Structure 1
Amino acid sequence: MCQSRPPLALYGTELRENNLSSTGSNRVQVFSFSGALRQMRIPPLIAVIVLGKLGLNAAFVPSACSNIHKASISSHMTQQLTYRSIAFETILMAEGNSQVGSMESVFKFIRSDALSLTVGSLCLLALVTNRLYTDPLFDSQSRTDILGVFSAGGLLLNGLTLQDITVREADVVQLQGPAVDDVKGFDALTPRQVTILRWAAQTYLKAFPTLPSVLIWHKGQTLLRNGIMADPARGTGDVRVLAIVQQALSSNPEADGLCQPTYIPDLQVLPGKIEFMNYLPSMCQAVVLQPFDSNQGLIILGGNKRRDLTPKDLARARVIAQKVQTCLAE
């Protein structure tokens, strides 16, 4: 005697598992296909028909039913269910782990980018082959081919949209230059200010491993140089206010005295990189310019990796600049 398959019930409402019990030793699991059905615009009734074609007993209960206390789905399953009605929500109840897993795999495959790309490519290939080997060509066939090309193109675009494209990260470049820890202007700075400047430099170096060069410039003087700097043969190592730096200092300061930072994510492709060669390593990959004290001061951070910083990183660097500004204002 042939044993019938366990039943499936496709509900048009969301089930709340307040009191859920099943007869026998089989444990009932609840699995939601609401998102898949909505995105693919598949009516629940069509899903029931498809499940029937796959050899699974299925039934559809519309969402208009407001409350079911005792529902006998079939002779295989009797449960107590309470749920709240939500429009367009569908819950698929299956008996056993294997059937839930198999149905989940089917819906994932239907929504996958591989299926869209494969079907789209095959459709285009079929259209081209039919076009080449059909003689004579009629106007009706041309119109049909146009519709087919649009359909295949839509599938290909959908597949490309679903693909998880990961941007290749840039490599870390080993910067060449002397390691410097220099604070100038001891006569004009108090011991506390010197301590705060050193603390800020070390905080930048530890918080941002890809920013190994730190310079602090204030009122026309380079107060601090810490990290990897330019070769002394190329210049004095002091900050020079040229076009890019001048543009960063010309931005309008905000209420706290700081300006929005200027971030150059790829310095090597910028013709103006020679402006930084006096004090930053020649292979410096990125630069952050953070003005402070109403454009009277500037913190320059040199990086060894392109496009590494995020807006969150720039916000963190701004907090340290705020501390430096407060210290130098004393």
Structure 2
Amino acid sequence: MKSFQMTGDLITILSKIHSPADVKKISEKELDELCDEIRKRIIETVAKNGGHLASNLGVVELTVSLHRVFDSPEDAIIFDVSHQCYTHKLLTGRYSDFSSLRKQGGISGFTRRLESPHDFFDNGHSSTSISQGLGLLTAWDKIEKEQRESGRNPKNRKVVAVIGDGALTGGLAYEALAHAGQLSKNLIVILNDNQMSISPNNGAISRYLSTLTMTGFYQRFRYFVDNLVDKIPNSKNHIGKFIYRIKRAVKGMFLSTNFFADLGFEYVGPLDGHNIKELEENLRRVRRLPKPVIVHVLTKKGKGYSPAENDPASFHGVGPFQISDGKMEKFD
């Protein structure tokens, strides 16, 4: 881990980002520096104001990748519970106000519609993002149908629901997954798997997700084939169906059962949630798919700040603390 320094005047890249369009202009060489600056800004602010720390430090690269691939607010990015939206706020025009996080009259610690057009819902409860995304996508599909019937060109808008493995244990999430698979809407669900909610997860779902993380060989094979096919002119017209059958056969060998596939979702993953290049490459492919997709992403809570990495449960929601050692301030 890199040593932590107070941000102050050190920020050069993050302070220039006023919208997601600016995120797309960042060169690949600058992305690691941008993520470091985001983490420093979050740590510095939460150390003064309190807030949700470990979860936010874990989704920095994922959130940056989402805003580089998708076009918020034309595309909707919906965060479940939304307490992990700090990077999202910093990248959507709220950098200058970020020091007011969770203060009276300041910006909220959750997504808030009145605060920004990039926040589609006031989210503070778990397991709601998939049903919200499905409802939004259904409404947009109706609008696009009316636009086509009137001779206008509809926008190809995407809906992305970001849900953690902890929130995935809620029944509402499964109702929405089943409904989305039945409707076959092109909803994109990002499963942020850090193997924790507030404390470590237990039970059948946690064990099942752990088995999915062992399917890396199939994913490497799949993306090797996809990259190869992308280089062949008119490959989709000539050999697309053949390649699809090969991938299905290999998937059957290594993924004999997949809960998400059985619900009607294409399953992608597991991906390294701290590798922006890998995330971007896969998200760009996923964006083109006309069907519901689960993108399984592995992240580490507290990433980049050792006290939070070593004790993510204590740094889930915190009051003011000392940055140097992570000790919480005590009040009489």
Q: TM-score, normalised by structure 1?
A: 0.22
Relative contact order, higher structure (CA 8 A, sep 6+): 2
Identify, as 1 or 2, the structure richer in helix.
2
